[in-house]
Structure 1
Amino acid sequence: MDQEKLLLLPLKSSTEMAKKINSYLQYWHKEDNSFIVDADCPRFGTGEAKGLIKQSIRDSDLYILVDVLNYSITYNMFGSPQRMSPDDHYQDLKRIITACNGKTEKINVIMPFLYESRQHRRASRESLDCALMLNELAQMGVSNIITFDAHDPRVQNSIPCHSLENVSPILQFLETFLNTCKDVEINKDKLVIISPDEGATHRAIQLSAIMEVNMGMFYKQRDFSKVIDGRNPIIAHEYIGPDVEGKDVIIIDDMISSGDSLLDVCKQTKERGAKNVYAFSTFGLFTHGFDEIDKAYEEGIISRIFTTNLIYQTPELLSKEYYTTVCLEEYIAAIVDTLHHRESISKLINPYEKCKELIKNHK
């Protein structure tokens, strides 16, 4: 396909990210014109909406960007402001896809946080929201779905004949971490990678293998007789792994939600004598605010938190002394450009050699 047919269509939730991606694409393509499509989802007074695309997209390779967790956006319903929920963002995505009217050659959806990915499996009489969403997008003609660090990558089994790229930003985390914490020594005597629960073990295994250090894990004891905020409350965390006394520790997970679980793990790690405790998390939700995290930082329980800019970040978060953003605009632009040229993205999503080179240079 001709390069000029590449188009980006950001929903309102992803406009800032799209501008940065567009800048990279313009530079690489030596193109003055923007790749961004002008589109909108205007609302009626009742809160109902419609998708509206304001320019031609015929025969294009279209990439739609959506951040389903961007709660900073509001709309009026019966005169009262309402925050956009993940459900609202997903409905707007479907509206824009239907507004394409089959005119595009390909539709690709970039959804960094996979909608309803925490409801990915059925334990009793429950809905399977993430699997339902993936099937809906496949039936609507979406060719590729690109997401990052899915809560459980096995959810892609729900659309076995369609493309779902689950991308890990491990290279970008390492780059940012090594540039920020230059005095960290990467060897088995000085550094340990820890998974905060059994679900994040594969992430810890991957990082420990790349860095050639030991790993440990906590497992959660839950009270299955209760459900609070949609989940069974955690009674205790139990640790399995190497001694962490006097060592730096990296705790890696896909998301920080309230932060309670992370802080409990950090506290127990410090009680075992850890030197510095760093947190890597692809998505920083911080649903309960920052008071407890601020207190933990002041007490030396946690040294620094790294999360990506794949989802909305509040000005308050960006102002925190202990917080560092892992930027991924260039990475997304590279994925888009590679897919647009019908080339393999294997080296982009499996950056093992680049990670090893980074660590070698750091040492």
Structure 2
Amino acid sequence: MSMNSSNVAVFNPETSVAPLGLIAMNGAGELGDKINSYLVEWAKQSGLDKDGFLIESQCPRFASGDGKGLIKSTVRGKDLFIIVDVNNYSCKYKMFGQENFMSPDDHYQDLKRIIQAASGKAHRINVIMPILYGGRQHRRNYRESLDCAWALQELQSMGVSNIVTFDAHDPRVHNAIPLMGFDNVMPTYQVLKTMYRNIKDLHITKDNFMIVSPDEGALNRNMYYASVLGVELGMFYKRRDYSRIENGRNPIVAHEYLGRDVEGMDIFVADDIISSGQSVLDIAYQLKEKKANKIYAYATYGLFTDGLEKFDQAYKDGYINGILGTNLTYRTPELLKREWFMEVDVSKYIAYFISAINHDISISSVIDPHEKIKQLLEKYNQ
């Protein structure tokens, strides 16, 4: 594979590891279709007459709820990429006549069923799992399970060669599989491009723009934004009550701000997940009390588990000016209609990764985010 003048990855069947095959699991069809369209486009540009790389699969259920994996065409000799969204709660299955919503556990079990259905015939199996199964339980306190670490080891034992994830809650989970391919991707360029395209009068300079980390755990990703943009960084410290557990975690007592004065500054807050969203709203309220100007938040995975109404109110009251989220997990139709929501499309970036892995070359030779961010800033700062 090489780069042409339009910066597009080009397929070369002579240098690819094996013929490419793509399986989009239940709930990942929209993302799989977008990725497939880029791969088909690049294949045709290189002279390959290819209608698509998607391979149809199913995980039907018996009336008792038992399931099985089914791949509807051959995968023999293929470099197989399986895309799964373990957090897509819109998928359903029937059990004893009742409709059930699929949990992350169900999605993960179906992934293993499809790997089994490949029956060892694929040349190589790679998993694209944007949000890691069990990834929020990243360390052990007291007597607790370590689901993500165990799942990664299980996938390795099943013959998976590479896992590509996005913005892992704690990338150190890779320590569970040190000899296995594991890429933790940060879609920084795609986020900045979406901001510039959607936010009018956006001026990212040291005098009027700041990055604020929502907590100490998100400091590294926010430090990166501050570094590439050349602006200052502040952070919030989450004070928790470690004497009790609510909804699986120690409740937050207060957010304490550390950093320079935010008065009159536009603020950008980046995190991996917006779950209920209460934390990001508390931070927005505090920043507004400190006389911050516009406040934008970004989460790779916008789950909004407690609904959208409180965000509607915060936007109406001027506490939040916009929220960015990727298409790496399920978004409700209601969320996509919200005026304050900006979607970050990461499908092309995943297609680059798939193409690079399929040709066994370094992703840095395909797409350099540092250089692209530099070009983006130069373009818009003019």
Establish whether TM, by shorter chain, passes 0.5: yes
Shift of 1:188: 1.1
Rounded to whole Å, the distance in 2 between the matches of 1:118 and 1:336 is: 25
Rounded to whole Å, the distance in 2 between the matches of 1:304 and 1:12 is: 30
Q: Does the alignment pair 1:336 with 2:354?
A: yes
Shift of 1:56: 0.6
1:356 counterpart letter in structure 2 = K
Give the secondary-structure state (helix, strand or coil) at the position aligned to 1:12: coil
Give the secondary-structure state (helix, strand or coil) at the position aligned to 2:212: strand
Shift of 1:348: 5.5
2:203 matched residue in structure 1: 185
Shift of 1:361: 1.4
What do residues 312-357 of structure 1 show as CA deviations (whole Å, max 9, x unaligned)?
Answer: 1100100101001000111111111111111111356751121122
Shift of 1:240: 0.3
Aligned Cα RMSD in Å? 1.2
| Match for residue 292 of structure 1 among 310, 313, 320 | 310
2:141 counterpart letter in structure 1 = A
1:223–1:288 distance in 2 versus 1, CA, 3 Å: same
2:10 matched residue in structure 1: none
| Match for residue 38 of structure 2 among 9, 12, 24 | 24
Rounded to whole Å, the distance in 1 between the matches of 2:204 and 2:339 is: 24
Rounded to whole Å, the distance in 2 between the matches of 1:349 and 1:170 is: 12
2:19 matched residue in structure 1: 5
2:5 matched residue in structure 1: none
Mapping for residues 97-176 of structure 1, pairs under 5 Å = 97-176=115-194
What do residues 93-151 of structure 1 show as CA deviations (whole Å, max 9, x unaligned)?
Answer: 00000111110110000000011100111011100111001000111110100000000
Deviating beyond 2 angstroms after TM superposition, the runs of 4 or more aligned structure 1 residues are 1-4, 346-350
Rounded to whole Å, the distance in 2 between the matches of 1:11 and 1:349 is: 26
Rounded to whole Å, the distance in 1 between the matches of 2:218 and 2:178 is: 23
Rounded to whole Å, the distance in 2 between the matches of 1:104 and 1:28 is: 23
2:259 matched residue in structure 1: 241
Give the secondary-structure state (helix, strand or coil) at the position aligned to 1:44: coil
Mapping for residues 76-115 of structure 1, pairs under 5 Å = 76-115=94-133
CA contact (8 A) 1:168 1:349 kept: no
Rounded to whole Å, the distance in 2 between the matches of 1:233 and 1:82 is: 30
Give the secondary-structure state (helix, strand or coil) at the position aligned to 1:43: coil
| Match for residue 342 of structure 2 among 315, 320, 324 | 324
Give the secondary-structure state (helix, strand or coil) at the position aligned to 1:89: helix
What do residues 242-294 of structure 1 show as CA deviations (whole Å, max 9, x unaligned)?
Answer: 11111100001111000000000011011111110000110001000011111
1:29–1:207 distance in 2 versus 1, CA, 3 Å: same
| Match for residue 276 of structure 1 among 294, 306, 311 | 294
Q: Does the alignment pair 1:213 with 2:213?
A: no
Q: Does the alignment pair 1:306 with 2:324?
A: yes
Q: Does the alignment pair 1:345 with 2:363?
A: yes
Unaligned runs of 5+ in 1: none
Rounded to whole Å, the distance in 2 between the matches of 1:326 and 1:110 is: 18
2:380 matched residue in structure 1: 362
| Match for residue 48 of structure 1 among 59, 66, 79 | 66
Give the secondary-structure state (helix, strand or coil) at the position aligned to 1:201: helix
Unaligned runs of 5+ in 2: 1-12
CA contact (8 A) 1:167 1:349 kept: no
Number of residue pairs aligned between Structure 1 and Structure 2: 363
1:347–1:168 distance in 2 versus 1, CA, 3 Å: farther
Mapping for residues 188-207 of structure 1, pairs under 5 Å = 188-207=206-225
Rounded to whole Å, the distance in 2 between the matches of 1:16 and 1:185 is: 33
1:352 counterpart letter in structure 2 = H
1:118 counterpart letter in structure 2 = R
Shift of 1:181: 1.4
CA contact (8 A) 1:134 1:158 kept: yes
Rounded to whole Å, the distance in 1 between the matches of 2:146 and 2:322 is: 35
Shift of 1:221: 0.6
Task: Give the fraction of aligned pairs with identical amino acids, expressed as a percent.
Answer: 52
Rounded to whole Å, the distance in 1 between the matches of 2:36 and 2:344 is: 19
Rounded to whole Å, the distance in 1 between the matches of 2:367 and 2:247 is: 34
1:8 counterpart letter in structure 2 = L
2:210 counterpart letter in structure 1 = V
What do residues 71-92 of structure 1 show as CA deviations (whole Å, max 9, x unaligned)?
Answer: 1110111000000000000000
